[in-house]
Amino acid sequence: MMSGVPAPMRILGLAGLIPFAGLAVLAIAGDDPIRLAALRAQIGYGAVIVSFLGAIHWGVAVQTPALAVWPRMSWGVTPSLLGWVALLLPPLPALVLLEAALLTALVYDEFSFGGDDRRAWFLKLRRLLSLGAILSLLATLIGIVVKGAL
Tens of pLDDT, residue by residue over 115-138, are 878 888 999 999 999 999 999 999
pLDDT for the residue 116: 77
Q: What is the pLDDT of residues 60-108, one digit of tens each?
A: 999 999 999 999 999 999 999 999 999 999 999 999 999 999 999 999 9
pLDDT for the residue 141: 97
Displacement of CA 141 from its chain's centroid (Å) = 15
pLDDT band of 12, cuts 50, 70, 90: very high
Distance from C-alpha of 56 to C-alpha of 53, rounded to nearest angstrom: 5
Q: What is the pLDDT of residues 14-69, one digit of tens each?
A: 999 999 999 999 999 999 999 999 999 999 999 999 999 999 999 999 999 999 99
HSE, side-chain direction, 13 A CA sphere, residue 50? 31
- Checking if the pLDDT of 149 tops 80, the result is no
- Checking if the pLDDT of 114 tops 90, the result is no
Angle at 58 between CA 18 and CA 7, to 5 degrees: 40
Distance from C-alpha of 55 to C-alpha of 26, rounded to nearest angstrom: 29
* Share of residues in the chain with pLDDT > 90 (%): 89
